[in-house]
Amino acid sequence: MADELTVAMAGLVGLLAEPTRLRIVAALQGWSGDGRELAQALEARPAVVAEQLEVLRAVGIVARGRHGHFRLVDPSIGVACAALPSPPAQPRVDDRSDARGSAATVA
């Protein structure tokens, strides 16, 4: 039977398995900024970053402080995430239809 710490760690690893969340936590290591600044630094859509920040805030990994700036509650999580190798960049999918009416285009 798994002990409570093992279960908690498995939940954390599962939560950080989502690439945007992992990038956010790694980026917040030693840095604090608002969601818009973070999205710009990550070259990600602000709405996506805002959604993932809310997930991370809800479980207590990040906190929102003064002036809407986000920070890691436990900096050791950021150290661990920043130490992981960066995955290769993936093309962004633009969900607007192109002139021919296709459902998505790659930006």
Every domain of the chain and the residues it spans: 4-84
**Could you say which residues of the chain have pLDDT below 50?**
95-107
Q: What does CATH list as the number for 4-84?
A: 1.10.10.10
> Looking at residue 85, what is its pLDDT?
73
> Looking at residue 53, what is its pLDDT?
94
Q: Does residue 42 sit in helix, strand or coil? A: helix
> Looking at residue 78, what is its pLDDT?
76
CA distance 25 to 77: 7
> Looking at residue 50, what is its pLDDT?
93
> Looking at residue 88, what is its pLDDT?
57
CA 43 to chain centroid, in Å, comes to 12
> Looking at residue 107, what is its pLDDT?
44
> Looking at residue 106, what is its pLDDT?
45
